[in-house]
Amino acid sequence: MNILIAYAGKTGTTKTCAHMLADKLNRATVVDLNKENINPEKFEIIVVGSSVRMGMIQKSLQKWLKENWEVLKQRKLACFICNGFLEQEKQILAGNFSQEFMDHAFYVRSFGGELDVNKLKGFDKFVAKNVMRSAQGKAMGTPKILEDRIAELANEILGL
């Protein structure tokens, strides 16, 4: 089975998750959509992944999904997002992916995230601090990568 993992992130979590998933599969092509474009035609299983900022997935993934939808809708498609707060998962998915996408994809879930404001600068740091403060106010959990979900998707793919 030809597997593609096409991801877009900003500070490294999505990349880490894409590679953790690839390590659990026998063979997968991993592509950073912020660095290169790829034609999905020759792949049978396609996993797309994106980080979330202010509720939105990465523009490069939005564009790639639009440009390649005719092919993607004929393939086995899975999707993960990396975001800090699981409480926002449903809302983020509903706000970023069409009903057609959600109906077609066999897996759409958050793999969790990481958020270290000390590693951020400028506007990102300002926004992240506010996001963290608002999350603390709502007693949301601390962001972390959910390895069990990565294993869950890997098992689903290996079982196809």
Segment 1-20, which members bind ligand FMN (CB under 6 A)?
A: 9-14
E-assigned strand segments in the chain:
3-8, 29-32, 45-53, 56-57, 76-82, 107-110
Q: In Å, how far are 63, 66, 80, 86, 107 from 98, measured between CA atoms?
A: 14, 11, 15, 20, 14
Interface residue with ligand FMN among 131, 153, 154, 157 (CB under 6 A) is 131
Interface residue with ligand FMN among 60, 68, 88, 96 (CB under 6 A) is 88
- Return d(Cα 89, Cα 79) in angstroms, integer: 13
Candidate ranges 34-42, 96-104, 124-132, 152-160; the one touching ligand FMN (CB under 6 A): 124-132
Tokens read off for 76:
């086995």
Nearer to ligand FMN by C-beta: 68 or 83?
Answer: 83
Q: How is 42-55 classified by DSSP, letter by letter?
A: G-SEEEEEEEEETT
**Least Å from the CB of residue 133 to ligand FMN:** 12
Q: Does 34 sit near ligand FMN (CB under 6 A)? A: no
Q: Which residues bind ligand FMN (CB under 6 A)?
A: 9-14, 51-55, 82-85, 88, 113-115, 120, 124, 127-128, 131
